[in-house]
Amino acid sequence: MNPTEQFELTRLAPIHLFGVDASFTNAAAFMLLAALGVVALMMLATAPRALVPGRGQALAEALYEFVASTVRSTAGAEGMRFFPFVFTLFAFLLIANLIGLVPYTFSVTSQIVVTFAFAAFVISTVVLYGFWRHGFRFLKLFLPSGVPAPVLLILAPIEIISFLSRPVSLSVRLFANMLAGHITLQVFGGFVLVLTGGGIWAILAPIPLFATVAMFALELLVACLQAFVFAVLTCVYLNDAIHPGH
Amino acid sequence: MSSPEQGDSDDLRARLAALSASLRKREAERREDGAGTSPVEGSFGRAMSVGLTVFSEFAAAIIVGAAIGWQGDIWFGTAPLLLIVFLLLGAAAGFWNVYRVAAPKEPPSDAP
């Protein structure tokens, strides 16, 4: 009945390396499952290489086209060199979000450690690529053009803080959406149990049951939408690394 | 009496004007649907996701500003001066982030 019990980590296979707790947890197990799910979708479904795609191949192709058009429209033609990265990120997060919605599974993306690791990786890629590609001209990102010098003195720190807040907001958004959704589902499910065990109140039990069904549909939308939002923002940030200074 | 060239250029100008008018109308219609241009949308799912977006953008900037100020105070021993300054800068950056979420998007410069 505890709505946060579903987020607890359990050690499936305790491993201690050099005094570091590197146990194989349920989170690791479900991450592995999500990665295998992506590989299965991409390799098995497209294995026939049919000219007229079957159901699985059509899904894989639609996913590919969708991410490709997103990258092209947000990061420009040059952004396509990051397509494998963005596609991997999107596919993994999508499958992990969807697996988390199956009852009795563990939702990997409702752990802020996981989402922050992804966000930090994205931002380090942006910073490293920006400096590699443009050198110190990358810092023009923090100096909007056409602004007088005294205003820049205030504006540059604001822009820098705004840039540094990106990994935080990127990770908190995905984490908060998944956490809030799973807790809501659990609480509504708990209402059904409480009402059913409450004598005459049992006649009211179907109301939260239907609410749970509606919430589940909503969560399905949120799971897909948040994976997409993460991918789009990754592209937007990569666009800053490719074209700084505007 | 107009020469054939002048007639052509008048014709061209009229066609250009018609084209830009229809382009403007398209753009206005696109804005009307609000396809990704404005975060103010109808359904509850969208509304919740937009709300969490704005919250995370705003809160993240303040948290980052406070963290910089806090660490700066520890390094330079100026407590609580830097914390206050960077907290205010963080709040400004938070509003700037929220503005960027709400402002209409512009396409990248080399989009095909």
Tens digits of residue pLDDT in B4-63: 555 667 787 888 888 888 877 776 665 555 444 444 444 666 677 778 788 888 999 999
3-state secondary structure of A13: strand
pLDDT at B26: 73
- Residues B56, A172: C-beta atoms closer than 8 Å: yes
Which residue from A67, A59, A54, A30 is spatially nearest to A42, judged by alpha carbons?
Answer: A59
Is it the case that residue B112 has pLDDT exceeding 50? no
**Facing A169 at nearest CB: one of B46, B56, B111:** B56
Statement to judge: residues B65 and B90 lie in one domain: yes
The answer to whether residue B112 sits within a structural domain is: no
**Facing B110 at nearest CB: one of A77, A177, A218:** A77
End-to-end Cα separation, chain A, in angstroms: 52
- Residues A226, B55: C-beta atoms closer than 8 Å: no
The answer to whether residue B111 sits within a structural domain is: no
Tell me the pLDDT tens digit for each residue of B77-109: 887 899 999 999 999 999 988 988 887 665 555
Looking at the complex, does the CB of residue A147 fall below 8 Å from at least one CB of chain B?
no
Encode chain A (246 residues) as per-residue pLDDT tens digits. Answer: 677 777 888 888 777 787 777 788 888 899 999 999 999 888 887 777 777 777 788 888 888 899 999 898 888 888 888 999 999 999 999 999 999 998 888 889 998 999 999 999 999 999 999 999 888 888 888 887 777 888 888 888 888 999 999 999 999 889 988 998 899 888 888 888 888 888 888 888 888 888 889 889 888 988 998 999 899 889 988 988 888 765
Domain span at residue B31? 1-37
Domain count of chain B?
Answer: 2
Statement to judge: residues B45 and B93 lie in one domain: yes
Name every residue whose Cβ is closer than 8 Å to that of residue A120 and which is 6 or more positions away in sequence: A167, A171
- Shortest CA gap A36–chain B (Å): 28
Statement to judge: residues B50 and B27 lie in one domain: no
Statement to judge: residues B48 and B6 lie in one domain: no
Statement to judge: residues B100 and B45 lie in one domain: yes
Statement to judge: residues B45 and B100 lie in one domain: yes
Looking at the complex, does the CB of residue A97 fall below 8 Å from at least one CB of chain B?
no
- Above 0.95 for ipTM, yes or no? no
- Shortest CA gap A152–chain B (Å): 13
Instruction: Quickly tell me which residue has 């822009």 as its tokens.
Output: A159
A vs B, Cβ pairs < 8 A, gives 90
The answer to whether residue B55 sits within a structural domain is: yes
| Chain A stretch 61-90, residues whose beta carbon is closer than 8 A to a beta carbon of chain B | 72-79
- Chain B residues close to A218, C-beta within 8 Å: 44-45
pLDDT at B32: 55
Q: What is the C-alpha to C-alpha distance for residues A26 and A9, in angstroms, rounded to an integer?
A: 6
Q: What is the C-alpha to C-alpha distance for residues A78 and A62, in angstroms, rounded to an integer?
A: 22
- Residues A246, B56: C-beta atoms closer than 8 Å: no
pLDDT at B38: 40
pLDDT at B111: 42
The answer to whether residue B109 sits within a structural domain is: no
Where in chain A are the domains?
Answer: 25-242
Statement to judge: residues B58 and B32 lie in one domain: no
pLDDT at B30: 58
Statement to judge: residues B30 and B51 lie in one domain: no
The answer to whether residue B100 sits within a structural domain is: yes
Q: What is the C-alpha to C-alpha distance for residues B47 and B90, in angstroms, rounded to an integer?
A: 25
Contacts 24+ apart (CB under 8 A), A41-50: A41/A91, A41/A95, A42/A91
Q: What is the C-alpha to C-alpha distance for residues A227 and A235, in angstroms, rounded to an integer?
A: 13
In order, the DSSP letters of A59-116 are HHHHHHHHHHHHHHHHHTGGGGGGHHHHHHHHHHHHHHHHHHTSTT---GGGSHHHHH
